[in-house]
Amino acid sequence: MSGFVAYGGARPVRQPPPAPGPGSVWSTLKHRVFFWLTLAALVSNIGTWMQNVGAAWLMTSLSSSPLMVALIQTSASLPILLLALPAGALADIVDRRRLLIFSQGWMLIAAGLLGALTIMHATTPWSLLGLSLALGIGSAMNAPAWQAIVPELVPREELTAAVSINGIGFNLARAVGPALGGLVVAWQGAGAAFILNAASFLAVMAVLFEWKRPHSANVLPAERVMGAIRAGVRYTRYAPALDAVLIRTAAFILGASAIWAVLPILARWELKLDAAGYGALLASFGAGAMVSGALLPALSRRWSRDAIGGAAQIGFALTLVGLALTRNKPAVFALMALAGAAWTVTMTVFNVAAQLSVPAWVQGRALAVYQVVLQGGMAGASVLWGWVAEQQNVRVAIGCAAAAVIAGMLSMVRFKLAGDEELDLNQFARPLPKSLHHIDPEAGPVLVTIEYRIDPARAREFTDAMRLMRPIRLRDGAVFWGLFFDADRPERFVEYFAVESWAEHIRQHHRGVSSDLAVQQMVQSYQVGEAPPVVTHQLSAQAVYRLNGIGAGADSFEPPRRAK
């Protein structure tokens, strides 16, 4: 977001969205590419759930340690903790379609290799964990780009419905895949489930190959991965709406992840189920999740995200209490269906809130940070609950997890999820001064100063207003910010901030969003006289100017050749 003093008029790069309509959740399927990707993802997710059933069940055959079983979940989640930020940066600076094709191909190879080893009876507990980790790496590279393309495929006002459709598809796969996986494992063994999962990635790859993703002309020099990561982390640090989502997600997932960590142990050793029974248990979870996902858009039109998410978290905690207390099989299956409904509502609310709390330029990186919190929390907490189950028993682990979910709800008191009406993230581009258009984009750092003339009687009001500018500058790319006044001329205030390079400063002028314009207008309303605030740019002495072409049009940017 940006609150820059305008160098002329602001040019919107996209128009404000129309008001949300009351259409059905299924109306998003009228968008052709979204429809086919949703269908392909359903096939792939069925394969993934077959893989999950096969891996968890195979580990219970290879090792009797609850900790080793819990590490299956950790191996799937840990790569996202380590790789999501680079993956999110790549999702914002490279072609997302190509990145998705690469990650799908990576997972195809990993699943195929695991299937071949298992069929040859050559799989060990550590090779199972290692190849599960490789699949997790592919998932980590895939997740930010996959979530970031959804706003490209449907209008913004249909995003909640689109995320719900994705959730319905995922949970339909959760209902079908485990049951099918359990049957395949019981009939042909885990290796067959792994091979079928490898084949399922071909469906997504086929649709991605056919998708003609539009390419928008970009006048800016490409960001480098490390610089993009720093920009994403900086944005996250100074974006309260996104921070609220991240804190709420972490508070929930600490306890909620127990259901995935100890469910295979509960199924095999407490309920005495076979592979097909374990698959049916997961299918019950998916069935409940599918129903709740279909109802969520209607609920969202009547209640706030906070109210819906809070009710779902209470419901999830109660299902954990029930699972800790009962070993009646029909009751456990019913509780799993309720848990699936509560889990899906909670996670969809957080996912939509994360997507709607950031502008397009940083969406991949912001969603990567969200995935780091989500999957990193699951990876760490899975180890915790596996350890508790090993030291005590499964009942104690699930009961403690229920208490953790309830305790995590205290975060709702301070960290509220932003409503759609609170943020206007339509981006605006502001032209740079003509005389400064042909600077080496690598030159830097750049110090920007903005001089204001303020009535001394209103100085305190002005400084209070400028406090709102600080997070805007910092999340848009400034590495530091400050405000000074002139002791000899008390009406003169100078705002300054620095960015890493001239290219990064150019990007700042394309990161402005509508919701920050009100702050900028409020700040400028304190300016005395008709003249606007005076803006200056100071570059490091190492900056190299391209002399030819100075004074070229302000609506284009041409990176210069490097001076020898």
Q: How many CB atoms lie within 10 A of CB 562?
A: 9
Asked if 16 contacts 438 with a C-beta cutoff of 8 angstroms, the reply is: no
The whole-angstrom separation of Cα 100 and Cα 260 is 26
Which residue's entry shows tokens 């009001």? 461
- Of 54 and 70, the structure prediction assigns the larger pLDDT to 54
Residue 230 confidence (pLDDT): 83
Query: 246-301: per-residue pLDDT in tens?
Result: 999 999 999 999 888 888 888 888 888 887 787 788 788 878 887 887 787 778 77
pLDDT tens-digit profile of 286-324? 788 878 877 877 787 788 888 898 999 999 999 999 999
Indicate whether 380 pLDDT > 70: yes
Work out the pLDDT band at 428, boundaries 50, 70, 90: low
Q: What is the pLDDT of residue 319?
A: 95
pLDDT beyond 50 at 20: no
DSSP letters along 312-359, please? HHHHHHHHHHHHHH---HHHHHHHHHHHHHHHHHHHHHHHHHHHHTS-
Whether the predicted pLDDT of 561 surpasses 60: no
- Which CATH architecture fits 427-539? 2-Layer Sandwich (3.30)
Cα–Cα distance between 204 and 485 in angstroms, integer? Answer: 58
DSSP state of 435: G
Q: What is the pLDDT at residue 9?
A: 33
Give the pLDDT score at 244: 92
Position 79 scores a pLDDT of 81
- Is the four-CA dihedral 298, 301, 307, 313 of positive or negative sign? positive
Q: What is the CATH number of domain 29-212+221-422?
A: 1.20.1250.20
pLDDT at 14 over 50: no
* Mean pLDDT over the full length of the chain: 80
Query: Amino acid identity of 204?
Result: V
Q: Quick one: CA torsion of 161, 374, 402, 305, rounded to 10 degrees?
A: -30
**Most trustworthy range by pLDDT among 72-81, 160-169, 352-361, 448-457:** 448-457
Given a cut of 50, whether residue 8 has pLDDT beyond it is: no
The one-letter amino acid code at 393 reads N
Cβ contact 348:164 at 8 Å: yes
Strands 446-453 and 534-539: antiparallel
Residue 371 pLDDT grade (very low, low, confident, very high; cuts 50, 70, 90): confident
CA distances from 143 to 40, 150, 233, 325 (A): 15, 11, 17, 36
* String of DSSP letters for 281-318: HHHHHHHHHHHHHHHHHHHHTTS-HHHHHHHHHHHHHH
Q: In what order do the strands lie in the sheet with 427-429?
A: 11-12, 427-429, 512-513
Closest of 271, 234, 228, 270 to residue 90, by C-alpha: 228
- The domain limits of the chain are 29-212+221-422, 427-539
pLDDT of 75 reads: 77
Which pLDDT score is estimated for 434?
Answer: 60
For the chain, the straight-line distance linking the first and the last C-alpha, in angstroms and rounded, comes to 36
